[in-house]
Amino acid sequence: MANVEENLKEHVEALRGWGIPVFVTYPRTVAEGIRMVEELGAVTGVEERAGQITADLWPLYRQAERLGDARGRARVFCPIWRNPYMTINRDTYVHDVLTLCGGQNVFAERSERYPEVTLDEMAAARPDVVLLPDEPYRFRKVHVQDFAPYEDVPAVRNGRIHLVDGKLLSWYGPRIGEALQTLPSLLHL
């Protein structure tokens, strides 16, 4: 199993050249992540188990859609790296998770998938919520202080800077359910 962002095409081609089948994933939406579970079940011969997992995920997906549409969308800054700060644009799985759960990614329109941003740019975007995941960069409590100078930013002023499990934002597959049950409460207005 390989992922477009995590593995080199040359390595996948080499494995296939040796006769080793490689299943390549590249989900950029939550729906694609759920469908990937179904596809993996078919590839590995465990369709029934995959069907059980997705039977639990699809209702949570539809519930998150309804909740996200019914509420106002919180403007969200979600960095994935520090020094320099990096975040995500609209062409990422993380963006789709945030959107589905009721957020509005403040850097969605950047041209780079993982743009570098300054905290001054973050402040100008005026997020209502800042999510600091523990992966790929391991944000910790001490990093919340990076935002202290920006006390006029709604997320800072209202104490809405949250340390979160990065798996909720970036791990697709069976973990999607936990994300869809946890993130909406962090993003509500």
- Secondary structure (DSSP) of 85-107: TB---SSSHHHHHHHHTTEEETT
- Cα angle at 77 between 76 and 83, to 5 degrees? 175
- pTM recorded for the entire structure: 0.91
CA distances from 188 to 12, 26, 51 (A): 41, 29, 31
Residue 70 pLDDT: 62
Architecture of domain 69-187: 3-Layer(aba) Sandwich (3.40)
- Per-residue pLDDT, averaged over 21-40, amounts to 93
- Looking at the chain, the whole-number percentage of residues with pLDDT higher than 90 is 85
Residue appearing with tokens 């800054």: 77
pLDDT in tens, 143-166: 999 999 999 999 999 999 999 999
For residue 116, the cross-strand partners are 86
Which among 65, 16, 57 has a CA at the least distance from the CA of 38?
Answer: 57
